[in-house]
Structure 1
Amino acid sequence: MVVGLINANPVVYERKERPARNDVVTDDEFAVEPIDQQEIFDHVRDIKDPEHPYSLEQLKVISEDAIEVDDVHSHVTITFTPTVEHCSMATVIGLCLRVKLMRCLPSRFKVDIRVAPGTHATEAAVNKQLNDKERVAAALENPNLLGMVDECLASTDD
């Protein structure tokens, strides 16, 4: 954990238990099941918060309802809610979401990551940073930042 926590006592919610998905397997090697909201949520729900030993789901930073998927147009939008308005880890959380989806979704998908409107003091700046290819690439070249992202994603790797 980080020393000098921004939100030292976050509200922790119970993790929702769900039955495992039964993916359909077909004889047609080209048949692909569409990617849906539940599948995206299953990929990101267990990402660890950078400051706390809880998942983004447990802190209600991410929820299934905050995910939009358009499989036909290969587009995913995730809207997350930081636990406090001045969360200094908002860009790290968004970067974790982006990297997780980069690693698990087909490359055809365009992913937009956003802070929920009105939930962060610098919402526009965070959104701009998280959706700019050059800024994301530069962030991922920073070994310290990449190490932090990898630590947050460690429990989600299949």
Structure 2
Amino acid sequence: MPRELINANPVVHGKKERRVRNDSPNIDEDIKDPEHPYSLEELNVVSEDSIEVNDKLNHVRVTFTPTVEHCSMATIIGLCIRVKLMRSLPSRYKIDIRLAPGSHATEAAVNKQLNDKERVAAALENPNLAEVVAECLAPTFA
């Protein structure tokens, strides 16, 4: 039985011209949405402007906006962003992943899950979740 999509007809935006920035990881165009064959950039879930890097404080914050406020994939999207950053940044960085304020029905709960080391570790030990994350981060997508 086919799975019903939460947002069957998302608005797809064109890819934007990149600014040259040495301080920002290129995550928005490298991560595929878990439900659709589009990048997070194309769905306007993450943009270059929503990535904040503070080298002095060793801190990175990414704020993302799901395509619908009841998106059941929000936690998985945030997990994909976190894993991408963990793989591409030096370990000295503290990573903070957040939903844009008011963008999701369970914003506080999702933010708590995405920024709890034990919950993230447990999620990545789940073979099904690990497979979804791997598919979203597959290098052949970029």
With the length of structure 2 as denominator, give the TM-score of the two structures: 0.93
Say whether residues 1:10 and 2:10 are aligned partners: yes
Q: Percent identity?
A: 72
Partners of 2:110 and 2:8 in 1: CA distance: 22
1:153 matched to which residue of 2? 137
1:30 matched to which residue of 2? none
Q: How does 1:2-151 map to 2 (within 5 A)?
A: 3-18=3-18, 36=23, 39-40=24-25, 42-151=26-135
With the length of structure 1 as denominator, give the TM-score of the two structures: 0.83
Gaps of 5+ in 2: none
Q: Name which one, 1 or 2, has greater alpha-carbon Rg.
A: 1
Structure 1 residue runs of 4+, over 6 Å off?
none
Check conservation: 1:44, 1:100, Cα contact below 8 A.
no
Q: How many residues align?
A: 141
RMSD: 1.9
Code of the residue aligned with 1:86 in structure 2: it is H
Code of the residue aligned with 1:100 in structure 2: it is K
| Aligned CA distance change for structure 1 residues 138 and 93 (closer, same or farther; 3 Å) | same
Q: Deviations over 1:32-56 (max 9, x none)?
A: xxx51xx31x134220000000000
Note the C-alpha offset of 1:65. 1.0
